[in-house]
Structure 1
Amino acid sequence: MSTEFMTLSDCVIMMVDRYVEDLDGDAPHNLHAQIIEQVERALLDHTMKKCAGQRSTAAQWLGINRNTLRKKLQNYGLDT
């Protein structure tokens, strides 16, 4: 039995298509910034939860510096 694997790129394309369809003919605006912001916020939030709030561990998982993580968490209001 084969399991179909969906890549992150596939997921993004599927969701962008759905978003554009939901606009019902209106043109999307600032699409790149919206996607980057929403994906990054969700990724940071989810990673922090999976790492039980441990910033050092989350930074390692994300492959970023702990100070960079701190700044990003502050930027998205996730630093509580």
Structure 2
Amino acid sequence: MTQTDSPTLTPESPGNELKNNFTQAPVASAQTLRDSVETALNNYFAHLDGQPVTQVYDMVLAEVEAPLLERVMKYTRNNQTKASVILGLNRGTLRKKLKQYDLL
């Protein structure tokens, strides 16, 4: 699924609430990434108020994958070969994902 295939999120939509939960997580916390995701999902599901929800997997993956790619690319000074080694991805796969998230 490409970023353009993702459902459009409005400020009040459940997807934006999940994004806010991720972005508001404390930086210097002893909480693991896994715990942060669990907390964000618990908050997300607790505030649905009966709204239908689909594509949670894609939504969570996009919220985690995009900043991961962005940070690794910054760390490697945009060297895709080094970034692909760090991420354990084929360079072609990395390029595809960078395009998917408009990072290339």
- Shorter-chain TM-score category? 0.7 to 0.9
1:29 match: secondary structure: coil
1:10 match: 35
| Structure 1 counterpart of 2:64, from 39, 51, 73 | 39
- Using the size of structure 2 for normalisation, the TM-score is 0.61
Q: Measure the CA separation in 2 of the matches of 1:6 and 1:57.
A: 28
1:54 match: 79
**TM superposition shift of 1:63:** 0.4
Give CA-to-partner distance per residue, 1:22-62, whole Å, 9 cap, x none.
43453533211111122111111111112111111111110
Count of residue correspondences: 76
Q: Measure the CA separation in 2 of the matches of 1:22 and 1:36.
A: 20
Identity over the aligned pairs, expressed in percent? 36
Q: Measure the CA separation in 1 of the matches of 2:86 and 2:42.
A: 29
2:93 match: 68
Unaligned ranges ≥5, structure 2: 1-28
Larger RCO, structures 1/2 (Cα 8 Å, 6+ apart): 2
- Using the size of structure 1 for normalisation, the TM-score is 0.76
Q: Measure the CA separation in 1 of the matches of 2:77 and 2:44.
A: 32
Bigger shift: residues 25-34 or 49-58: 25-34
